[in-house]
Amino acid sequence: MSWIPEFRALMRRGKLSREIEEERWIVSEWGPSENNRRSRFYRITEAGRKQLGVERENWRRTARAVALVLGFGVAMASEVFDVTDSQTSSADEARKAVRGA
């Protein structure tokens, strides 16, 4: 998927954090890092959490659709991509069932 290298390239240029900071999805401040040097610390905002929820769901939908076209099977597509946070335990059960099968 193309956006992973793109993401890396953006990170390298420091552009990504500036962009998402401009969107007010994160805020940053200076603080001491582990080795006692000053580092910039990033924190997610309420708007950022909302964005995360929307984009996380978009990613799941798209990745599931791509998995189907690539022939990774309906079972896999729904086991991985139909999982939500509240269903983690049932996903674990599904995984065990698959392993047991």
Partner 1 sequence: MKNDNLQGALALLVLRSLAQGPMHGWGIGLHIQRVSNEVLRVEEGSLYPALHRMEEERWIVSEWGPSENNRRSRFYRITEPGRKQLSVERENWRRTARAVALVLGFGEASGVFDVMDSRISRADETRKALQRD
Q: Which residues 6+ apart lie within 8 Å of 70 measured at CB?
A: none
93 binds partner 1 (CB under 8 A): no
28 three-state secondary structure:
strand
Q: Are 28 and 21 in contact (CB under 8 A)?
A: yes
Residues within window 41-60 making contact with partner 1, judged by CB under 8 A: 55-56, 58-60
Where does this chain touch partner 1 (CB under 8 A) — which range of 13-21, 23-31, 40-48, 92-100?
92-100
Q: How many CA atoms lie within 13 A of 66 on its CB side?
A: 7
Least distance in Å: CB of 76 to partner 1? 4
Binding residues for partner 1, per CB under 8 A? 1-4, 6, 55-56, 58-73, 75-76, 79-81, 83, 85, 87-88, 91-92, 94-95, 98-99, 101
